[in-house]
Structure 1
Amino acid sequence: MESHLFPIRIALLTFPVVAFLLTIPFLIYQYTKYHYVNKIRVLVTYSFLLYCITAYYLVILPLPDTRDVLGLYPAGKQMYQIIPFSFIRDIINETNVIISKPSTYLYLFREAAFLQAIFNVLLLTPLGIYLRYYFRKSFKKTILIGFLVSLFFELTQITGLYGIYNAPYRLFDVDDLILNTIGCFVGFVAAPIVTFFLPSYNRLDRNVDLDNMNVGFIRRFLALSIDWAIIVIFIDTNDFIQYVSSVFIYFIVIEYLTNGKTIGKLLTSIRVRGKGYRITFKELLIRYGILYYGLGLLNKLFINISEQYFVSQFIIFGLVFTIDTLVFISVLASIIKKEPFFYEKISKTKNIIDYKSSKSN
């Protein structure tokens, strides 16, 4: 039991790190394909990720203490088992079950050979469920994928974790291929029962009104982060001229030509819209003039004035702190009330979900 609990504990510790690293690619994929993030889809996807990590760790952990695994083996040690259904013989030889006496069947749950066979079946049972419900795979494809995943596990073992160890530290067993594949089949058959309380996958997006759905702040922040990451790669944002020109070209000119889209907005399926369907140059100039030329340059200008005219640093700090505090309070209030930000109200612009243009493409 401990040999199985240890990999599960490690998987639970690893999962948050892997999930965090995959969050941005996952969000971008959801926004570009579905134009929004469905909570059920998030739950199923991350549970599938946790399952994959756990299954893999159950196959490879615990690791040997030394890379010289071969030196630990006696001469002639068998490293593979290629006779199908040998597990049945092992169960019969090890158990005290009497076929004619059902009361002895409980003895099976005390036998290592039987429990190992059950474990190998259960290992890929969840995979069969995910393949049918979430990935919408047919029976044949599910069985094939289950077999290939099991083969991957066995090759991982027989290669000594891809050559890290000089010999396999676990037995390559053809019965594992059979039992794992059976487990995937069981999962496929049981999927409708297990997912009974979940909505049908085909109906997840049925009642979604993208026209009236607000663009969330996480989505906006992701788009903004992508855009500024691109800008920072090519320019020095501390240089006044480069900063002003890059903001003008990237956020005003390009968005005007693309009707409110940047690379970040494109990857998150949103765009900026004004009073009409097509954004105007004036609306963009007001929006980003306030946001990047007003607030973005304010701190730099104050510092430059202080250095050139020897104005008291305390006064400059007080002015900057007061303005930044007011902006922070305004933004926080907008987030709480779910209202447009102050620069959006002034420019009469807003972010909307851009799904119609992607459909037309």
Structure 2
Amino acid sequence: MSDVWTWPARIGVLLGAGLFLALLVPILVIQIRRYGTTSPARLLGAAALAVYGTALVAYTLLPLPSGDLAAWCAEYGYPTVQLRPGQIFADIRERTAGLPLGAVVRDISVLQGVFNVVLFVPWGILVRRYLGWGLLASAASALGASLLIEVVQATGVFGLIPCSYRLADVDDLVTNTVGGVLGALIAPWVLRWMPRAKTLAATRGEPRPVTVWRRWLGMAVDAVAYTTLSGLLAMAWGLVGYLGTGQVPPDTVPLWLFASVLSWVVVFVLPLATGTGESLGQRTVWLAVVPDVSRVADGGVGLSWSARLRRGLAGGALWGLLQVLSDAATMFDVGALASASNLASWFAAVLVVAVPFTAGKRGLSGRAAPYRLADAREGAGALSTHR
């Protein structure tokens, strides 16, 4: 099979899988907040959506011309848009006149038309069953997506390329939409194994067990939140500085305080010091800190400040602090802090490994402070009873 047909599929699998892995934590967070738990079946649907979406872009828009674009357009560009409906059938008749049936079905014009239909069948399947849209909405979305693709082709990516680098064809619009409609029609049978979002959301408020995977997801949320926030704040600092002076600002202590230290305070310190002390990630995955009265000397129902401090120093707050010190070592070339990054990695590994080996999946911080973790959706009475 020609590489023209197969390389976009390889691009879709490789880049689509990478995109899915990059977005895995946000996808899991959306699931657990929307459904109250994670759904492996719908997670598989998200992976399919990432791979298909990437492959669709590769098949319809790539490769883009490079080099001398003016010369390329003069030789390969399309001067007009094909606006004659049914031209595909005239082309097929012209190319296959007098050929035996076997040669007809293998002709590129026939294959192209069939492929345009097949290409959008997954669109209809995923939009109707995974996203939960109706038949008409799924068909309209296929039409809209195909129209956008044709416009991008006709305008040379909205003027980025000075010509129509692919033939924008109204027949593509029709065949793509037909494929989307066919996919939407068969979606209830093809993806009948996938639970609907509404069905899962109906049980969103039901308490679930505290599992290892749930604890690890909460940790991942904390790590991603710190990394993302510090990166965004650093970018904002650089953008403001560039707009003000015309130059990218150098690494300074104020930048470190604004990006790294402030992110640590927001993501780790404030959640630990407020409420009952759950981290941002724990709150995200519906976990609540419940004081263990059997380990509290005065029989109190809340964590003391010393207990909160011990919890932070044996948990994510210490990891975040090590990351802050690692950032300082990188920004200011401080040799004394050079080992902070390695220490952060080792400590993260210890925190992760400790979870399955501690009672109630409390982890290392649960050993350092008198508390246990429970599902936040348990009623106040239930939480009190289990204390």
TM tier, smaller: 0.7 to 0.9
The amino acid of 1:179's aligned partner reads T
Partner of residue 28, structure 1 = 29
Instruction: Output the CA distance in 1 between the equivalents of 2:351 and 2:58.
Output: 48
Change (3 A) 1:260 1:113: same
Bigger radius of gyration: 1
- SS of residue matched to 1:45: helix
**Does the 8 Å contact 1:287/1:343 carry over to 2?**
no
Partner of residue 270, structure 2 = 250
The amino acid of 1:224's aligned partner reads D
- 1:145-166 alpha-carbon deviations (Å, 9 max, x no partner): 0100000110111111232211
| Selected match of 2:157 from 161, 184, 187 | 161
| Selected match of 1:273 from 274, 290, 304 | 290
Change (3 A) 1:327 1:17: closer
- Deviation at residue 173 of structure 1 after TM alignment: 0.3
Is 1:224 the counterpart of 2:244 in the alignment?
A: no
Change (3 A) 1:97 1:261: farther
Q: Which TM-score applies when normalising by structure 1?
A: 0.72
- 1:105-158 alpha-carbon deviations (Å, 9 max, x no partner): 444312221111101101111010011111111111111101000001101111
- Deviation at residue 44 of structure 1 after TM alignment: 0.3
Change (3 A) 1:86 1:205: same
**Does the 8 Å contact 1:32/1:268 carry over to 2?**
yes
Is 1:131 the counterpart of 2:127 in the alignment?
A: yes
Partner of residue 369, structure 2 = 347
The amino acid of 2:207's aligned partner reads L
- Deviation at residue 37 of structure 1 after TM alignment: 1.8
Partner of residue 334, structure 2 = none
- Deviation at residue 60 of structure 1 after TM alignment: 1.5
Change (3 A) 1:20 1:222: same
Structural mapping, 1:170-189, within 5 Å: 170-189=166-185
Partner of residue 147, structure 1 = 143
Change (3 A) 1:221 1:329: closer
- Deviation at residue 247 of structure 1 after TM alignment: 10
Instruction: Output the CA distance in 1 between the equivalents of 2:207 and 2:29.
Output: 17
Partner of residue 243, structure 2 = none
Change (3 A) 1:344 1:118: same
- SS of residue matched to 1:210: coil
Structural mapping, 1:1-361, within 5 Å: 1-66=2-67, 67-68=69-70, 69-73=72-76, 78-96=79-97, 105-199=101-195, 202-204=198-200, 210-214=207-211, 216-225=214-223, 228=226, 250-254=270-274, 258-275=275-292, 280-282=302-304, 285-292=306-313, 296=318, 332=353, 334-335=355-356, 339-345=361-367, 347-355=369-377
- SS of residue matched to 2:117: helix
Instruction: Output the CA distance in 2 between the equivalents of 1:177 and 1:196.
Output: 28
* Consecutive unaligned residues in structure 1, runs of 5 or more: 99-103, 301-320
- Deviation at residue 64 of structure 1 after TM alignment: 2.5
Q: Which TM-score applies when normalising by structure 2?
A: 0.68
- SS of residue matched to 2:163: coil
- Deviation at residue 356 of structure 1 after TM alignment: 6.7
- SS of residue matched to 2:115: helix
Change (3 A) 1:291 1:235: farther
- Deviation at residue 9 of structure 1 after TM alignment: 1.9
- SS of residue matched to 1:273: strand
